[in-house]
Amino acid sequence: MSLNCKTSGLNGRLLTRSKMRKPLRGCNSGWKWKRLFLFVWVPVVIGFGLSLFSGVFRKKMETCEDNSLVLVEQFNNVSKDLLHEVASSFFESDQITTLNCTKQFGNGMSTKHEISCTLKVPDHEHNAELWGQCPVHDDKAPMVQSSSVHEKLARDDNDVLKVCMWALFIIALCSPIRCLWMNRKGKMKKTEHAQSSSRSGGKWMKKLLVVFVLAGVSLSIWLFWYLNEGIQLRREETLESMCDERARMLQDQFNVSMNHVHALAILVSTFYHGKQPPAIDQETFGEYTERTSFERPLTSGVAYALRVRHFEREKFEKEHGWTIKKMETEDQDQTLAQDCDPENLDPSPVHDEYAPVILSQDTVSHIVSIDMMSGKEDRENILRARASGKGVLTSPFKLLKSNHLGVVLTFAVYKTHLLPDTTPEQRIKATVGYLGASYDVPSLVDKLLHQLASKQTIVVNVYDTTNVSAVIRMYGPEEIDTGLLHVNSLDFGDPARKHEMHCRFKQRPSLPWTAILASGGVLIITCLLGHIFYVAINRIATVEHDYREMMKLKTRAEAADVAKSQFLATVSHEIRTPMNGVLGMLQMLMDTNLDAKQLDFAQTAHSSGKDLIKLINEVLDQAKIESGRLELEAVPFELRTILDDVLSSFSTQSQEKQIELAVYVSNQLPEIVVGDPVRFKKIITNLVANSHKFTHDRGHIFVSVHLADEVTRETDMKDDMLRRILNGSKSNLACDTLSGLPVVDRKKSWENFENLSCKDSINEFEKIKILVTVEDTGVGIPIDAQNRIFMPFMQADSSPSRTYGGAGIGLSISKRLVGLMDGEIGFVSEPGTGSTFSFTAVFMKKETYSLDTVVQQCHPAISEFRGLRALVIDRKDIRAGVTRYHLQRMGISVEITSDFDSARSFLSDSDSSDFAIILVDQEVWDMESGLAFLRGLKSSTKLFVLANPISPTINDEIKSANLTATFVEKPLRLSALISCFQETLPAGNNRVVARKQSTLGDLLRDKRILVVDDNIVNRRVAEGALKKYGAIVTCVDSGKAALERLKPPHSFHACFMDLQMPEMDGFEATRQIRRLESTFNIEIKSAEVGHWHTPILAMTADVIQATDEECTKCGMDGFVSKPFEEEQLYSAAACFFESG
């Protein structure tokens, strides 16, 4: 059905629309509305459609029914004779009650129409209305007509439907359009000033909403009007068609009867007047009329009156044996129907002519011999009839028997057959008699109407309107005004008489529910949508308002935050300055003569002050970072040294707490990286301090450093240690950690890192990303506190009775510093097991060789131990690994065994003299085997006991056994190990011992040095500085003078040359000196004395200017910056004095 397709089409359209809309933002609410709208819409549409559809259908059924009746009627008229035959042929057989007859009409066209005709023959023979019960599907024309009627109706309904659909469609369209519009508005808002645009947008929306609601309301009103109009129109049409049909039927029936009466008149003329003697007598006439009364269904009776002139009266009376009677004058109307004995009537007075009834149907036999001319009405009738030659009607009057209104039809019977153009006079002359028939109008109409459907719905009235001023109602009840009225004029074949049929519905029209429902539905939808939109607009306005409020608050909060940071920074700074004074004064106070108690007080005050300064510095750091003022340095530094420093600062504490503290750096890491060593150290210190704070009397804190890449590439882990660490934490076995206590899975601490591997960083070759983990076996962080661990001033336990002190700022600073280093920080913690903190940091790579000297300088003794072999006896793999790491840093190759027995076999297997050092962990030591092992050692092999802290019992044991072993205190770190080894190991290498005490003084003592500077002050300063270290200094004030002095052979060990000098600058002077030297070298080459090369060091105030390049280009060996600094002077001088 069209309705369905339309609905689905609509839905489809809506869906595609919504699909289109989906990706757009800001449509979420709209989408919600749409869903809601659909929920409302679908039932409304379905209900609406159904009601419309059923209404249409019902009407169609009705019309069809009516149509079929009309057709039946038409059919009756057209082929009544035919049917009559058929009917009469069946009439005789009473047995047949129902019959289906099918006739095929051969049509001129190829199509064949079947007429299936069901005849219902009632039991009563009397009922002649055979065809009335017969629904006939007739031939083409009516079919076409009816189908066209159907089409028309359907079209009407379609129009209504279409209008409704459009209305709904428009409403449905509204929501996406609105959504679109709001979306656009949202975009606008972004660009424009939010406040004004949104406000105007809200107003705009409200206006649009009002327009929309008004449109919806007017639409619903219009819809109601339109639908109602349609219903009215259809009602009128129905009434009209029904009325027409009834009128036509009535007329036709009447005419049929009239024709029969006419035929009877001709019969009488033929057989009564045409034969001599007449072939019809009263008996024959009576029987004939009785038997043919079915042909005149509306007549109650027929009678024939002969025209008798006055001169013939006597003869006539004699002939028939009765006198011509007169009708009762007082009651003219009851002439024909009078129920009275004709014998009682008076004989007719003398007239020109008479019209006595001679033949009559049995039903009206009482009127025989009554003079029809004596009734005024009848007389007029007779006169008109014979003048016109047609049937004429009387005005209605009450029939006596039935007490119904009736009319009398009169036909004149002529002597001869008259031509149509005969004049009235001739007709009058030719008249021989009159045939009259009485019509019982109400029963006639009743009969008729009973044949028609929906007789209940309409009221039919028939009027005689010949006299307009006095209309006579012939049929029907009193008229009640029920609105519609349809008037049809009836033509009963008598032009002198006018009849009308009035039709109206029995009931007033019921309320137009279809229209009400449809328009009501539209109205409700409109109201609903309006309400939804209104609420939405209000909501948007509120949200926008709230948003603005929040933005304001946010800016205020941010401003307050910045102000807070600045305040912190300022206050911290302000506190620090006086604190310096306090501390300084305290320091001096301590230098004065104080007694022990006072000194104690002062010391306490001093250390408290120091703590305070430390805290303030941290707060200052935090504030600086927060306000974005902290910038990282980029200087080369040695990672491992930094870690050693951290360890040494915690060594005392960890020894007190008996916590194992260890550091391990993967060998994949370069010695030197470029970054901010201070901050890096700070992070690790914070983490270690944190771990330290929460670890009590057992377990360990283990700092390990790896490349981030190492961790990610699990498949080929180059570092054996890392694998072991990871496995240890994974397996959670007690034995495989540093202290043997279980630890958390450290992998989890970095699994949340977004960017662990630095593969995607800009240049993999220049940058390295390191991963530092600090593992402890402390109390762990409670689960609920884990998410705020990096928030400043937050403590895991912030209750007043908390166990652990601290401002809670360390981790926060660490996190921020890590962030500055392009790294990430994370942790994993299990209460009771411990915590592991991990962070990454990105550093620049730096070639190691350029700072090689620095490393050497820091630990000049390193080379002393290079090539030695060491045996580590430790049953814990990781701890042994840490030990090996430290030893390998010194260039010592390491073997590991787990206990003394295997160590002994190890020693016997290989040449034990190879092992210069044997390190035993305190845990492994037990008196018997330890001492036994010790005794078995060669004197050249030294035993070291790694202890944390030194246990006096073991020491006593060894001492009592008269053996020697050195104790090394943990945490292990390079410097401690070196000093320990140096003390213990045989001074096999004197140079090393000398080197050990080597200072700048030793380096420069008795060296003859030439200082070249044009500036007398600088010259004097340099001289003073160098003299301080025991050098013999000679000064010259120009390059030329220097050239003189340095002409080989000479006795100077080195030359310090100012770069910027008048006449001849340092570079030029150096070049000339080198030239002199090279010529001299060639000269002495034959003598093979050696190579002459005086070290020349540049002195410059500007380090940047004196790049390596420039200096080396002209043959200098290095540079020192002015003014001299001891370390730098040392490192520069050491380069060539040591090697030379």
**Residue numbers at the binding site for other proteins (CB under 8 A):** 588, 591-593, 1014-1018, 1020-1021, 1024-1025, 1027-1028, 1060, 1062, 1101, 1122-1125
Nearer to other proteins, 735 or 1101 (CB): 1101
Q: Where are the alpha helices (DSSP H) in 455-512?
A: none
Q: What is the DSSP string of 136-197?
A: B---HHHHHHHHHHHHHHHHHHHHHHHHHHHHHHHHHHHHHHHHHHHHHHHHHHHHS-HHHH
Query: Taking the CA of residue 269 as centre, how many other CA atoms within 13 Å lie in the half-sphere pointing to its CB?
Result: 20
**CB of 593: closest distance to other proteins in angstroms?**
8
**Start-to-end CA span in the chain (Å):** 112
Nearer to other proteins, 767 or 1028 (CB): 1028
Nearer to other proteins, 871 or 1022 (CB): 1022
Asked if 891 contacts 981 with a C-beta cutoff of 8 angstroms, the reply is no
Distance of CA 431 to the CA centre of its chain: 101
3-state secondary structure of 380: helix
- Taking the C-alpha atoms of residue 516 and residue 946, their distance in angstroms, rounded to an integer, is 102
Q: Which residue type occupies 103?
A: K
Cα dihedral 51, 54, 57, 63 sign: negative
- Taking the C-alpha atoms of residue 383 and residue 352, their distance in angstroms, rounded to an integer, is 13
3-state secondary structure of 840: strand
Nearer to other proteins, 81 or 591 (CB): 591
Nearer to other proteins, 195 or 598 (CB): 598
Nearer to other proteins, 582 or 674 (CB): 582
Nearer to other proteins, 47 or 1024 (CB): 1024
392-393 and 405-414 beta bridge pairing: antiparallel
Asked if 1108 contacts 1077 with a C-beta cutoff of 8 angstroms, the reply is no
CB atoms within 10 A of CB 604: 11
Instruction: Say which DSSP state 922 is in.
Output: T
**CB of 1103: closest distance to other proteins in angstroms?**
13
- Taking the C-alpha atoms of residue 163 and residue 223, their distance in angstroms, rounded to an integer, is 8
Nearer to other proteins, 891 or 1123 (CB): 1123
The pair phi, psi for residue 759, each rounded to 5°, is -60, -35
Nearer to other proteins, 730 or 1020 (CB): 1020
Helix (H) or strand (E) holding 251: helix 194-267
Nearer to other proteins, 762 or 1017 (CB): 1017
**CB of 1057: closest distance to other proteins in angstroms?**
14
- Taking the C-alpha atoms of residue 333 and residue 347, their distance in angstroms, rounded to an integer, is 19
Spatial neighbors of 277 by CB under 8 A, at least 6 apart, are none
Taking alpha carbons only, the member of 858, 884, 1020 closest to residue 946 is 884
- Taking the C-alpha atoms of residue 896 and residue 1015, their distance in angstroms, rounded to an integer, is 62
**CB of 645: closest distance to other proteins in angstroms?**
21
Asked if 100 contacts 118 with a C-beta cutoff of 8 angstroms, the reply is yes
Residues linked to residue 768 through DSSP beta bridges, in sequence order: 843
**CB of 682: closest distance to other proteins in angstroms?**
24
- Taking the C-alpha atoms of residue 68 and residue 677, their distance in angstroms, rounded to an integer, is 109
Nearer to other proteins, 618 or 1014 (CB): 1014
Taking alpha carbons only, the member of 776, 780, 759, 918 closest to residue 842 is 759
CB atoms within 10 A of CB 155: 10
3-state secondary structure of 479: coil
Place of tokens 């809601």: 36
966-969 and 942-947 beta bridge pairing: parallel
Nearer to other proteins, 592 or 763 (CB): 592
**CB of 1017: closest distance to other proteins in angstroms?**
4
Distances (CA, A) of 444 to 257, 300, 448, 451, 713: 11, 10, 6, 11, 113
Q: What is the DSSP string of 110-123?
A: S--EEEEEEEE--S
- Taking the C-alpha atoms of residue 721 and residue 664, their distance in angstroms, rounded to an integer, is 9
Instruction: Say which DSSP state 268 is in.
Output: I
**CB of 635: closest distance to other proteins in angstroms?**
20
Asked if 1031 contacts 1006 with a C-beta cutoff of 8 angstroms, the reply is yes
Nearer to other proteins, 576 or 1028 (CB): 1028
Nearer to other proteins, 106 or 1062 (CB): 1062
Nearer to other proteins, 84 or 1040 (CB): 1040
299-306 and 431-440 beta bridge pairing: antiparallel
3-state secondary structure of 826: strand
Place of tokens 């029920």: 482
**CB of 712: closest distance to other proteins in angstroms?**
47
Nearer to other proteins, 125 or 1063 (CB): 1063
Nearer to other proteins, 284 or 603 (CB): 603
Q: Where are the alpha helices (DSSP H) in 592-630?
A: 596-626
**CB of 1099: closest distance to other proteins in angstroms?**
10
Nearer to other proteins, 223 or 1035 (CB): 1035
Residues linked to residue 504 through DSSP beta bridges, in sequence order: 459
